[in-house]
């Protein structure tokens, strides 16, 4: 389990805050430290709470497996709020509800162990402390304001500061890094790491591959600038203390462009890049960048069509900021955490026909701010993938179980018909694209007992750096335990008909499809093109099925830009002083994310941020 000293919170509080709760009753506890364990999103969450006789002194998450940048950020935020407000009357953090609930439940347990009153702490919110009035408006002056502290915002801040520009960065979350904190590393082409590995692809080759893949539905100049800078960016990051394990492939047919960050704490899989964003944050601060955390940008101030400032507000409502500046960069990470905006812009309904990853605070603020400043809109898409989900299922399920059913076996739709070359499940974008062509945006992967036993003995054919799973020996035990707790996205049945009934598939058609598929396997020739080695019959019970839905790491695009990362109006005029980078402005992929060159979203974010920072610095200096 992951040790998390960073989640330790111990705040010195004023006598007025500590002394009372609802109705004036004093908080009373048995002094000491108490521990509780509750189930989080990915596993148990262990929490230690320290009390003195009249207050909660600290909340410490000592062990957890929650997603970096999502679950751990939520728990950090709530831990701080519990201590600061001496209250449990707090809402779960959007996008990390399960992690939030685990933290709050564990603290409640510790309060009871300490002889305290959970009721009193729940009522504290109603004693007048839940909605603090704004106490001040702070006037600030700088050259460049950056709204969003993910890899694009940090890249821009560092580049601009290195050019001698004064920078203020506002980040809505309690930590910098954004979605990169759950990622593994950026793309680069032609880096020293790749050359040492013997990888020979150059920028010309990568550029041509990319442009053909996107059918030229992209800004080719911007793509070229991004690729040209990408190798140098790896060295730039290394100069900050970032280390890389290797340049990796996402799947066998992809190119090793994915530069996997070596994490400080030994994390493997999702979350390794959190180390990179910490180094970038340290570098930005060392250069004098002023970083305001838990502070949301709210407005780009315009005067006669030119940027003259920005406004922001602290998330606790206590402070407003008005900033006089020459340029503003919007890099807020898209709107993957805004279900209403996802429905409006993309047509998907969270929890029904789409199960995208919801990074907290990625709610479209930046795109709406750009709209208000006169920006034009670009095409909006998603970083399409797929995952194992079911609307009525409890939890995400054991990773070994779900990954055993992300392999090249038989994939059917609700009607029971096969529709896809399952070898392409490696390319998660292709599989997601195929799913949205089916009724209900869903499909079902099926395997039999013979295949399952092979995976338990020998592992799966398609291993993954993201899931980092090699041991499938506990498949049966883990599936049985998950099903007993209400997990229904993966089911087991004695017959194909019974399996169809459990999963909601047309049973008659599925039986015919399985028979036809087994005949294809026997012939060794698949009309949909799957390689002979993956043509394995579904013939030995019991049988297993997993339900697939489209998912995504987030949204792409929304703000119209040019190759200098300047924001454009609807009729393609530059808005002086306004820039955008990262996923708010990322339209380089056309209609399908480019997993053949993995690391692209993070790579574009960092490099577009660097380009935007340089562009803004030139604009600011020219105006002096």
Query: Does the pLDDT value for residue 507 go beyond 80?
Result: yes
Mean pLDDT of 455-475: 91
321: its two tokens: 């900021």
Mean pLDDT of 516-528: 98
Residue 409 CB coordination number (10 Å): 26
Mean pLDDT of 158-167: 99
pLDDT at 124: 59
pLDDT tens across 420-429, in order?
A: 999 999 999 9
Residue spans of the domains in the chain: they are 2-127, 139-341+356-380+557-623, 384-552
Query: Does the pLDDT value for residue 16 go beyond 60?
Result: no
**Is pLDDT larger for residue 3 or for residue 180?**
180
Query: Does the pLDDT value for residue 575 go beyond 80?
Result: yes
Residue 272 CB coordination number (10 Å): 27
Query: Does the pLDDT value for residue 511 go beyond 80?
Result: yes
DSSP 206-265: HHHHHHHHTTT-S-HHHHHHHHHHHHHHHHHHHTTT--EEEEE-SSTTS-S-EEEE--TT
Query: Does the pLDDT value for residue 300 go beyond 70?
Result: yes
Alpha helices per DSSP H over 48-169: 71-85, 97-113, 118-123, 151-162
Query: Does the pLDDT value for residue 6 go beyond 60?
Result: no
User: What is the band of 581 on the pLDDT scale with cuts at 50, 70, 90?
Assistant: very high
Distance CA 283, CA 278 (A): 9
Mean pLDDT of 265-291: 94
Mean pLDDT of 394-408: 93
**Is pLDDT larger for residue 10 or for residue 495?**
495
CA angle at residue 401 from 499 to 267, to 5 degrees?
A: 160
Mean pLDDT of 559-563: 98
The values of phi and psi at residue 127, to 5°, are: -90, 15
Q: Are 472 and 455 in contact (CB under 8 A)?
A: yes
Express as a percent the part of the chain with pLDDT over 90.
80
Least confident interval from 84-93, 356-365, 544-553, 570-579: 84-93
Q: Are 88 and 111 in contact (CB under 8 A)?
A: yes
Q: Are 11 and 84 in contact (CB under 8 A)?
A: yes
Query: Does the pLDDT value for residue 120 go beyond 90?
Result: no
Query: Does the pLDDT value for residue 86 go beyond 90?
Result: yes
Distance CA 354, CA 386 (A): 9
Mean pLDDT of 263-288: 94
pLDDT at 4: 38
CA distances from 153 to 242, 332, 389, 404, 559 (A): 17, 8, 32, 37, 15
Distance CA 597, CA 459 (A): 26
Query: Does the pLDDT value for residue 63 go beyond 50?
Result: yes
Mean pLDDT of 191-203: 97
Domain 139-341+356-380+557-623 has CATH 3.50.50.60: yes
At which residue do the structure tokens 């660097």 appear?
610
82: its two tokens: 């519990």
144: its two tokens: 């460049």
pLDDT tens across 49-62, in order?
A: 999 999 999 999 99
pLDDT at 73: 77
314: its two tokens: 């602290």
**Is pLDDT larger for residue 232 or for residue 468?**
232
pLDDT at 359: 86
What does the H/E/C string look like for 68-103? CCCHHHHHHHHHHHHHHHCCCCCCCCCCCHHHHHHH
pLDDT at 71: 80
Contacts of 530 (CB under 8 A, 6+ apart): 408, 421, 422, 423
Q: Do domains 139-341+356-380+557-623 and 384-552 have the same CATH topology?
A: no
Query: Does the pLDDT value for residue 12 go beyond 70?
Result: no
Query: Does the pLDDT value for residue 569 go beyond 70?
Result: yes
What is the residue-averaged pLDDT of the chain? 91
pLDDT at 539: 98
pLDDT at 578: 99
Q: Give 3-state DSSP helix, strand, coil % of the chain, rounded to 5.
A: 35, 20, 40
Beta bridge partners of 310: 300, 323
Query: Does the pLDDT value for residue 602 go beyond 90?
Result: yes
Query: Of 296, 303, 304, whose CA–CA distance to 321 is shortest?
Result: 296
Q: Which residues of 184-193 are buried (b: 16+ CB within 10 A; e: fewer)?
A: bbbbbbbbeb
pLDDT at 25: 53
Q: Are 356 and 95 in contact (CB under 8 A)?
A: no
Domain 384-552 has CATH 3.30.365.10: no
Query: Does the pLDDT value for residue 90 go beyond 50?
Result: yes
**Is pLDDT larger for residue 298 or for residue 623?**
298
Query: Does the pLDDT value for residue 550 go beyond 50?
Result: yes
pLDDT at 148: 98
């Amino acid at each position: 389990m992951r040790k998390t000293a960073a989640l330790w919170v111990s705040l010195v509080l004023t006598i007025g805050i500590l002394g009372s709760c609802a109705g004036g009753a004093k908080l009373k506890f048995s002094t000491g430290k108490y521990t509780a364990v509750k189930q989080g999103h990915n596993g148990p969450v262990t929490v230690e709470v320290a009390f003195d006789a009249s207050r909660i002194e600290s909340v410490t998450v000592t062990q957890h497996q929650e997603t970096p940048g999502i679950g751990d950020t939520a728990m950090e935020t709530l831990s701080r709020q519990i201590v600061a407000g001496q209250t449990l009357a707090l809402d779960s953090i959007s996008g990390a509800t399960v992690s939030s609930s685990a933290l709050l439940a564990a603290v409640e347990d510790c309060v009871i162990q300490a002889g305290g009153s959970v009721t009193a702490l729940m009522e504290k919110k109603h004693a007048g402390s839940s909605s603090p009035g704004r106490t001040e408006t702070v006037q600030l002056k700088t050259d460049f304001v950056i709204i969003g502290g993910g890899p694009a915002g940090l890249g821009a801040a560092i580049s601009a500061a290195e050019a001698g520009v004064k920078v203020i960065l506002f980040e809505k979350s309690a930590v910098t890094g954004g979605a990169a904190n759950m990622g593994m590393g950026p793309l680069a082409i032609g880096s020293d790491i790749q050359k040492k590995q013997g990888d020979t692809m150059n920028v010309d080759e990568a550029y041509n591959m990319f442009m053909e893949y996107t059918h030229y539905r992209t800004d080719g100049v911007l793509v070229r600038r991004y690729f040209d800078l990408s190798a140098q960016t790896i060295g730039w990051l290394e100069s900050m203390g970032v280390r890389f394990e290797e340049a990796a492939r996402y799947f066998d047919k992809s190119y090793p462009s994915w530069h996997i960050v070596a994490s400080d704490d030994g994390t493997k899989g999702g979350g390794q890049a959190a180390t990179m964003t910490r180094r970038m944050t340290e570098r930005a601060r060392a250069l004098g960048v002023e970083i305001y955390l838990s502070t949301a940008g709210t407005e780009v101030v315009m005067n006669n069509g030119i940027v003259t400032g920005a406004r922001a507000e602290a998330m606790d409502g206590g402070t407003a900021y008005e900033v006089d500046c020459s340029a503003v960069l919007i890099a807020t990470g898209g709107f993957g955490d805004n279900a209403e905006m996802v429905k409006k812009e993309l047509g998907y309904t969270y929890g029904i026909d789409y199960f995208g990853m919801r990074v907290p605070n990625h709610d479209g603020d930046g795109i709406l701010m750009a709209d208000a400043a006169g920006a034009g809109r670009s095409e909006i898409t998603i970083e399409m993938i797929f995952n194992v989900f079911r609307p009525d299922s409890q939890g995400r399920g054991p990773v070994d179980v779900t990954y055993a059913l992300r392999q090249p076996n038989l994939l059917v739709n609700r009607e029971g018909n096969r529709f896809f070359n399952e070898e392409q499940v490696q390319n998660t974008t292709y599989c997601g694209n195929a799913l949205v062509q089916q009724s209900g945006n869903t499909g079902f992967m099926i395997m039999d007992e013979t295949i399952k036993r092979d995976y338990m003995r020998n592992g799966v054919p398609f291993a993954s750096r993201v899931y980092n799973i090699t041991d499938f020996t506990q498949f049966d035990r883990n599936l049985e335990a998950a099903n007993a707790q209400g997990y229904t996205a993966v089911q087991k049945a004695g017959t194909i008909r019974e399996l169809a009934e459990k999963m909601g598939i047309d049973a008659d058609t599925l039986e015919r499809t399985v028979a036809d598929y087994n005949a294809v396997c026997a012939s060794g020739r698949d009309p949909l093109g799957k390689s002979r080695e993956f043509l394995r019959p579904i013939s030995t019970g019991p049988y297993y099925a997993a339900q697939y839905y489209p998912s995504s790491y987030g949204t792409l695009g929304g703000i119209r830009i040019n190759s200098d990362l300047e924001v454009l109006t609807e009729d393609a005029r530059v808005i002086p002083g306004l820039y955008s980078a990262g996923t708010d402005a990322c339209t380089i992929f056309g209609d399908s994310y480019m997993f053949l060159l993995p690391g692209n979203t993070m790579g574009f974010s960092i490099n577009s941020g660097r380009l935007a920072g340089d562009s803004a610095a030139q604009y600011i200096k020219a105006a002096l």
